């Protein structure tokens, strides 16, 4: 077991820190996290008891046992106390629509088609504006911070606003402009959808090292082949991932077969879309040959079990996907079909659903599930060299999970505690790119009362007297 | 829609309060809860905005809108502030083994047989003592209080200690002595199991109006027909419910068919056990005729979906059970197969699992699910006249759920927020029998640090260096 920096002696071996691909220079730490057990998620690494993490200029420059990672005597840095806590990589939500917090709990217990066509689409058409999307997305960011998510892949409309929100909150993200061949919020004429997406990408590309723009094609049914192909070409040109909803329901698969004479994956393949940049959300009704083709071409899966359960869509064959080596991350989907953005709860549900679906309690064990929500998510977004693990040189996207609550006592295995016992409310500190976004449960970047107040105002417009 | 006490004027109509079956006398309130929306769970009653609840001597003596429920001017009472919160009946956990918090996360991701025979049974044999059961059960009580459960049905060994713990914590419960035809903790000679259970009941019956003793037969496979019959007779004699694990796995059902020539329900029926006092936990593999027979005889079901999922046992056909009118409550099972006692998360999982299992997003809607965890649970325990709703005359088992977190904003429908968005960590106040057990997230009856410290010590004995 190689532990790259566990024996790092900052004082003596400082000179080594500037070497290698992720050169970080002879930097002084600006942030210190210490006290608890660190789960690095580096393959094969055991938990580090009484760990210390040093951060400088947005990156991890040291991680190991407290006594093995020295602190420079003359250093000045912020300290995060992680005693009685777990230090781990921030969770990565690979599929959501953050601004849909606006519609949380507005329409439950309905068939997908009725839910989408009678409730969600009309509400979006009537109430989405740049202003409402901004506040909804910011509430989503706030909720993700509160529950330990440090990076998210988003697809929606008016996405300049979601980028603004992610910036204000300090989160990392792949934020994609929605493309659909119907009139959509901000795109009254669908013939403009590709142009608008292209301009969106050009406007934001390179703007930040935290937020990457992208395109999100709504689905192979709601976008024509030409639209899909155009979206793919723009994504390719800028080497960006392309997000799409894929095979969420049986009806959708059947309609594609009827319309195009083949199943969804071979259909997308024919268009040239199946490659390493494709992020397919849902994947509930993929057959074995479709999974094999996605794997062969390096396409990625965003697994969103709670949304698929709530809408009665079905159960993605996640064990089989993992077995054949498909890259899989975990997502919550939007708040109107979940109804929260808590990836800790999503992990718990994901593993239990796989076990009961497979009739095998060994399916998707705690370690595999936690990988899906961290390193798996990073790989889905193409960011595996930057985030997903706690390692020297990687971006400092770190969360601290408090263990002082009754439901997290005792701890025989911290990974089990995280997956089976914890919920998002146990997260106490959140760091993204070395910046502290939440400290001791206090939000450092966003005025939570203002955001919740704004969204309550908007919800009163949407739901009349329905909101409290 | 009849709202019994919504127009209660305490000052003028005080004389009426002493009437009726639940006579409460001309009592002054000793506790006042007010400010938030009250979900009474009384059939057909809409949420009460800006509600006020008056409690006296352990019972609810007034509930309605703030302006409609008057407070006596000269009263002295404790006040619970429920602004920006939901006031609702405490949740009822109809199947758990509280002291198994000791084994939380000790053995995950294993087949049921291996988990039970190689891990749980040996650990129980080696480490269960009156002392460890006390601390484990008290931790369980603490966790239930923290997550809004006010009443629980428990089955385990050394149950004097679980009664002690429930008393110390202030929870309500049906606490049953385990009976199994193998040597068990505290019962080295299984021929003594019925005598020990009988003495347990006689020792605790009538001791308290909060804690009821009972018998928990481990299963129709691990107890002989004679043992089951003896347990039933003692339960009958004292008019107490009889708890049993029933049809959890396919293997168990097949073994019963092999051994007794019929399925589990007809087998128990032959023994005379199927009646209104039977609480059958799991019920995963019941066929339609078994369900119909349970319904016909008034037997009850404890639905424990997360445990059934985690052990890969299968999915109970809960929609069918509810459709035929079976009385169903919700439980978590023990912490070694869940791994927490959070009934809010259990509600979320229960409804989503039913929807995806039925392939019907309308299955087990939020309202039905919340009923299962409140009024349904009360009916399972035979306590429907005392608890499960917020009504004048009922016991004051009340919780307050804080709505000030991002994941609970906005609220179009408070029932949706409770079932789909909340988790146990959102509970801020817990009242049982009129006594405040948790106020503003602070435990009032139990020294949480002491309990967690004791359980960590015990876990270190159990797991060696495994615990932090």
SS (H, E, C) chain B: CCCCCCCCCHHHHHHHHHCCCCCCCCCCCCEEEECCEECCCCCCCCCECCEEEEEECCEEEEEEEHHHCCCCCCCCCEEEECCCEEEEECEEEEEECHHHHHHCCCCCCCCHHHHHHHHHHHHHHHHCCHHHHHHHHHHHHHHHHHCCEEEEEEEECCHHHHHHHHHHHCCEEEEEEEECCCCECCECCHHHHHHHHHHHHHHHCCCCCCEEEEEEECCCCCCCHHHHHHHHHHHHHCCCCEEEEECCCHHHHHHHHHHHCCCHHHHHHHCCCCCCCEEEEECCCCCHHHHHHHHHHCCEEEECHHHHHHCCCCCCCHHHHHHCCCEEEECCCCHHHCCCCCHHHHHHHHHHHHHHHHCCCCCCCHHHHHHHHHHHHHHHCCCCCCCCCCCCCCECCEEEEECCCHHHCCCCCHHHHHHHHCCHHHEEEEEECCEEEEECCEECCCCHHHHHHHHHHHHHHHHHHHCC
> Which segments within A42-179 are labelled E, that is strand?
51-56, 59-65, 78-81, 85-89, 91-96, 149-156, 172-179
Domain ranges, ordered by start, for chain B: 10-90+394-443, 91-380
ipTM: 0.93
Token pair in block for residue B22: 């639940």
Identify which of B294, B305, B385 has the alpha carbon closest to the alpha carbon of residue B93.
B305
For residue A352, the chain B residues in CB contact (below 8 A) are 306, 309-310, 349
Task: Note the pLDDT tens digit of each residue in A209-242.
Answer: 899 999 999 999 999 999 999 999 999 999 999 9
Residue recorded with tokens 């009472």: B77
**Could you confirm whether domain A10-90+394-443 is CATH 2.40.50.140?**
no
Q: What element of type H or E holds A292?
A: helix A288-297
> In degrees, to the nearest 5, what angle opens at C-alpha B134 toward C-alphas B131 and B137?
145
For residue B421, the chain A residues in CB contact (below 8 A) are 104-105, 335, 339-340
Closest partner residue to A312 among B49, B361, B406, by Cβ? B361
CATH class of the domain comprising B91-380: alpha beta
Strand partners, B214: B176
Contact B105 A413 (CB under 8 A): yes
Burial class (CB in 10 A: 0-12, 13-18, 19+), A140: buried
Q: Is A88 helix (H, G, I), strand (E, B) or coil?
A: strand
For residue B401, the chain A residues in CB contact (below 8 A) are none
CA–CA separation, A174 vs A329, rounded Å?
14
**Best of A39, A285, A410 to mutate (most B CBs within 10 Å, chain B):** A410
Global pTM value: 0.94
Q: DSSP letters of A390-429?
A: --TTSB--EEEEE--SGGG-S-S-HHHIIIII--GGGEEE
| Phi then psi dihedrals of residue B179, to 5 deg | -130, 125
Nearest chain B residue (CA) to A406: B143
Identify which of B434, B441, B466 has the alpha carbon closest to the alpha carbon of residue B30.
B434
Contacts of B59 (CB under 8 A, 6+ apart): B22, B24, B393, B394, B395, B396, B434
Closest partner residue to A105 among B311, B411, B466, by Cβ? B411
Residue pLDDT tens, chain A, 468 long: 333 333 333 333 333 333 333 334 457 899 999 999 999 999 999 999 999 999 999 999 999 999 999 888 777 899 999 999 999 999 999 999 999 999 999 999 998 888 889 999 999 999 999 999 999 999 999 999 999 999 999 999 999 999 999 999 999 999 999 999 999 999 999 999 999 999 999 999 999 989 999 999 999 999 999 999 999 999 999 999 999 999 999 999 999 999 999 999 999 999 999 999 999 999 999 999 999 999 999 999 999 999 999 999 999 999 999 999 999 999 999 999 999 999 999 999 999 999 999 999 999 999 999 999 999 999 999 999 999 999 999 999 999 999 999 999 999 999 999 999 999 999 999 999 999 999 999 999 999 999 999 999 999 999 853 333
Architecture of domain A93-380: Alpha-Beta Barrel (3.20)
Question: What pLDDT does residue B116 have?
Answer: 87
Question: What pLDDT does residue A381 have?
Answer: 98
CA–CA separation, B198 vs B211, rounded Å?
16
For residue A110, the chain B residues in CB contact (below 8 A) are 361-362
Closest partner residue to B352 among A306, A363, A412, by Cβ? A306
Question: What pLDDT does residue A464 have?
Answer: 54
CA–CA separation, B119 vs B389, rounded Å?
40
By residue count, chain B amounts to 468
Residue recorded with tokens 């999922």: B309
User: Are B432 and B171 a contacting pair, CB within 8 Å?
Assistant: yes
Contacts of A113 (CB under 8 A, 6+ apart): A251
Question: What pLDDT does residue A416 have?
Answer: 97
Question: What pLDDT does residue B13 have?
Answer: 33
Nearest chain B residue (CA) to A451: B406
Peptide bond into A309 cis (omega under 30): no
**Best of A409, A438, A443, A446 to mutate (most B CBs within 10 Å, chain B):** A409
Q: DSSP state, A150?
A: E
Contact A342 B112 (CB under 8 A): no
Strand partners, A211: A173
Q: What element of type H or E holds A270?
A: helix A264-270
Contacts A–B by Cβ distance under 8 A: 237
Question: What pLDDT does residue B6 have?
Answer: 31
Token pair in block for residue B65: 């809108």
Residue pLDDT tens, chain B, 468 long: 333 333 333 332 333 333 333 334 457 899 999 999 999 999 999 999 999 999 999 999 999 999 999 888 777 899 999 999 999 999 999 999 999 999 999 999 998 888 889 999 999 999 999 999 999 999 999 999 999 999 999 999 999 999 999 999 999 999 999 999 999 999 999 999 999 999 999 999 999 989 999 999 999 999 999 999 999 999 999 999 999 999 999 999 999 999 999 999 999 999 999 999 999 999 999 999 999 999 999 999 999 999 999 999 999 999 999 999 999 999 999 999 999 999 999 999 999 999 999 999 999 999 999 999 999 999 999 999 999 999 999 999 999 999 999 999 999 999 999 999 999 999 999 999 999 999 999 999 999 999 999 999 999 999 853 333
- B218: closest CA of chain A, how far (Å): 21
Outline where A157-240 has alpha helix (H): 159-169, 193-204, 225-237
How far separated are the first and last CA of chain B, in Å rounded? 54
For residue B351, the chain A residues in CB contact (below 8 A) are 310
Question: What pLDDT does residue B26 have?
Answer: 57
Question: What pLDDT does residue B273 have?
Answer: 98
Contact A412 B308 (CB under 8 A): no
């Amino acid at each position: 077991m190689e532990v790259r920096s566990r024996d790092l002696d900052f004082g003596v071996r400082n000179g080594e820190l500037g070497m290698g691909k992720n050169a970080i220079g002879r930097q002084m730490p600006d942030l210190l996290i210490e006290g608890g057990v660190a789960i690095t998620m580096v393959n094969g690494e055991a938990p580090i008891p009484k760990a210390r993490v040093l951060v400088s200029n947005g990156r991890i420059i040291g991680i190991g046992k407290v006594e093995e990672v020295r602190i420079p005597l003359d250093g000045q840095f912020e300290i995060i106390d992680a005693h009685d806590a777990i230090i781990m990589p921030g969770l990565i939500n690979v599929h959501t629509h953050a601004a849909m917090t606006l519609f949380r709990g507005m329409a439950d217990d309905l068939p997908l088609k009725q839910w989408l066509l009678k409730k969600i689409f009309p509400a979006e058409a009537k109430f989405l504006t740049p202003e409402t999307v901004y506040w909804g997305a910011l509430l989503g960011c706030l909720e993700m911070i509160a529950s330990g998510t440090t990076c998210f892949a988003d697809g929606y409309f008016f996405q300049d606003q979601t980028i603004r929100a992610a910036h204000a909150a300090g989160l990392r993200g792949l934020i994609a402009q929605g493309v659909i061949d119907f009139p959509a919020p901000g795109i009254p004429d669908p013939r403009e959808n590709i142009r608008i997406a292209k301009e969106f990408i050009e406007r934001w590309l390179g703007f930040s090292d935290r937020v990457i723009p992208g395109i999100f094609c709504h689905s192979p049914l709601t976008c024509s082949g030409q639209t899909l192909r155009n979206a793919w070409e723009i994504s390719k040109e800028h080497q960006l991932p392309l997000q799409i909803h894929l095979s969420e329901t049986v009806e959708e698969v059947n309609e594609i077969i009827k319309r195009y004479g083949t199943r969804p994956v071979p259909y997308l393949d024919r268009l040239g879309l199946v490659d390493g940049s494709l992020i397919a959300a849902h994947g509930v009704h993929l057959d074995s040959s479709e999974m094999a083709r996605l794997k062969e071409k390096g396409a990625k899966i965003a697994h969103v079990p709670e949304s698929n359960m709530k809408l009665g869509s079905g159960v993605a064959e996640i064990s089989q996907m993992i077995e054949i080596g498909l890259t899989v991350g975990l997502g919550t989907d939007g708040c109107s079909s979940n109804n929260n953005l808590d990836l800790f709860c999503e992990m718990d549900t994901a593993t239990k659903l796989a076990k009961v679906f497979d009739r095998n309690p060994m399916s998707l064990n705690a370690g595999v599930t936690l990988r899906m929500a961290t390193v798996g998510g990073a790989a889905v977004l193409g960011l595996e060299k930057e985030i997903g693990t706690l390692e020297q040189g990687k971006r400092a996207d770190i969360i601290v999970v408090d263990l002082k609550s009754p439901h997290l006592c005792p701890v025989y295995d911290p990974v089990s505690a995280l997956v089976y016992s914890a919920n998002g409310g146990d997260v106490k500190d959140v760091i993204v790119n070395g910046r502290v976004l939440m400290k001791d449960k206090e939000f450092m970047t966003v005025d939570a009362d203002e955001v919740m107040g704004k969204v309550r105002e908007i919800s009163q417009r949407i739901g009349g007297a329905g909101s409290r």
